[in-house]
């Protein structure tokens, strides 16, 4: 039995939870938010969209199937902390190469366990996502209260430039690609470009700060706007680039890319109370009237009453009727708030990628 040191989670409203250490010892901070998925902890931790966030896993036992080198969405852990009820001490899966604890230590992640995550989740649901500190060093409440004042709020925070690739990268698995796709990386997950590559594509991934001229010089068949972290309204350079690209090529966006497309179309976004994070989020396709179970991770959303008359709402989230997808046929652009690549999660929405390839075929 491994020995764990004491740890504390302190929230900006003064509530705190005492538990045991998880991962490396030390101190970390970020926005505390909850994820309703029972699985997928490794993909969640390595998803750049979780930058500067400390994740509460609602499922009580985390780590049951261990970790491996395949179930990652990037080479780094971007979540700033992990909060769980109990770590599984004996992971069992034929693909497992290390335990959750070993993975967290190798990536230098500070976490906390042995706290009432149900009470914490209910508190966030009632009061909203809020800043927090996990520490194994400082247990002085007054000291933590002073420190948390220096933790930046997610609202107004541009994190895309921090997690984006710094250099252009071209990926291709075939000799004669059928499509050339320009992907703007605001925090792109691995499984997204894997799906694009499966469709005989050459995918060139550009940094978030790319100019419209660079994209058009590449002369792609389509433009993809990736997922990513932070406040979409703060990514002003990305919004301006997308504005200049509207109507030039077919365009498809996911998550932050969806919000940036909406902002480029003169819509507005807002900070949600606690967001949607999990692999069981119900969405209605308004064209087919079918219900899809989707994977989601976002704390901002597109404002319904800010949409221009030429923008169509294609999907809505059934829990709160927020916008989950839009389309603007005038400029051959569409986007979804959820993650159709579903890593982790169900594959109900994979067809959303097919629409992108059909648009490129029609535009060829």
Q: What is the C-alpha to C-alpha distance for residues 320 and 323, in angstroms, rounded to an integer?
A: 9
pLDDT grade, residue 2 (50/70/90)? low
| Paired strand residues for 97 | none
Global pTM exceeds 0.75? yes
DSSP state letter for 79 = B
Cβ atoms of residues 228 and 164 within 8 Å: yes
pLDDT tens for residues 205-259? 999 999 999 999 999 999 999 999 999 999 999 999 999 999 999 999 999 999 9
Cα–Cα distance list, 85 to 21, 35, 55, 64, 90 (Å): 11, 13, 12, 13, 15
Angle at 354 between CA 308 and CA 326, to 5 degrees: 15
* Structure tokens given for 276: 């949607």
Q: What is the C-alpha to C-alpha distance for residues 176 and 14, in angstroms, rounded to an integer?
A: 59
Active-site pick, 33, 58, 255, 328? 255
Pairing of strands 169-172, 201-207: antiparallel
Cα–Cα distance list, 242 to 196, 220, 306 (Å): 20, 14, 18
DSSP state letter for 59 = S
Give all domains of the chain, ordered by start, each with its CATH number.
6-148 (3.50.30.20), 160-363 (3.40.50.880)
Query: Does the active-site annotation cover 339?
Result: yes
Half-sphere exposure of 227 (CA within 13 A, CB side): 28
Q: What is the C-alpha to C-alpha distance for residues 184 and 26, in angstroms, rounded to an integer?
A: 35
pLDDT tens for residues 40-76? 999 999 999 999 999 999 999 999 999 999 999 999 9
Q: What is the C-alpha to C-alpha distance for residues 11 and 29, in angstroms, rounded to an integer?
A: 10
Residue partners of 17: CB distance under 8 A and separation at least 6: 8, 9, 112, 115, 116, 120
How much is the pLDDT for 346?
Answer: 84
Cα–Cα distance list, 167 to 136, 137, 171, 302, 323 (Å): 37, 38, 13, 30, 33
How much is the pLDDT for 316?
Answer: 98
Residue 12: CB atoms within 10 Å: 18
pLDDT grade, residue 342 (50/70/90)? confident
Average pLDDT, the chain: 96
pLDDT beyond 60 at 1: no
Q: What's the average model confidence in pLDDT over 135-152?
A: 98
Residue 217: CB atoms within 10 Å: 10
Query: Does the active-site annotation cover 202?
Result: no
């Amino acid at each position: 039995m491994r020995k764990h040191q004491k740890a504390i989670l302190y929230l900006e409203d003064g509530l705190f939870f005492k538990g045991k250490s998880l991962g490396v010892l030390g101190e970390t901070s970020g926005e505390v938010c909850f994820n309703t998925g029972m699985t997928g902890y490794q993909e969640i931790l390595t998803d750049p969209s979780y930058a500067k966030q400390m994740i509460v896993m609602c499922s009580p036992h985390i780590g049951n199937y261990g970790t491996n080198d395949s179930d990652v969405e990037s080479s780094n852990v971007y979540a700033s902390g992990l909060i769980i009820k109990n770590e599984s001490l004996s992971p069992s899966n034929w693909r497992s190469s290390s335990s959750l604890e070993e993975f967290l230590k190798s990536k230098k992640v500070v976490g906390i366990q042995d706290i009432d995550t149900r009470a914490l989740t209910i508190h966030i649901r009632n009061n909203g996502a809020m800043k927090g500190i996990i520490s194994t060093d400082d247990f002085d409440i007054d000291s933590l209260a002073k420190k948390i004042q220096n933790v930046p709020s997610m609202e107004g925070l541009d994190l895309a430039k921090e997690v984006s690739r710094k250099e252009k990268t071209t990926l291709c698995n075939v000799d004669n690609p059928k499509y050339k796709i320009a992907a703007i990386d605001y925090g792109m997950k691995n499984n997204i470009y894997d799906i694009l590559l499966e469709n005989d594509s050459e995918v060139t991934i550009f940094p978030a700060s790319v100019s419209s001229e660079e994209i058009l010089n590449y002369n792609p068949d389509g433009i993809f706007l990736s997922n990513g972290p932070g406040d979409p309204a703060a990514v002003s350079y990305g919004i301006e680039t997308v504005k200049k690209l509207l109507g030039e090529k077919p365009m498809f966006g996911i998550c932050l890319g969806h919000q940036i497309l909406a902002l480029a179309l003169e819509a507005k976004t807002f900070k949600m109370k606690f967001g949607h994070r999990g692999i069981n989020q119900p969405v209605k396709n308004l064209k087919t009237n079918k219900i899809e179970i989707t994977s989601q991770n976002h704390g901002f959303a597109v404002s319904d009453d800010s949409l221009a008359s030429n923008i169509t709402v294609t999907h809505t989230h059934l829990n709160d009727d927020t916008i989950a997808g839009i389309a603007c046929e005038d400029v051959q652009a569409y986007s979804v708030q959820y993650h159709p690549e579903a890593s982790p999660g169900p594959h109900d929405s994979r067809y959303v990628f097919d629409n992108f390839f059909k648009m490129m075929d029609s535009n060829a």
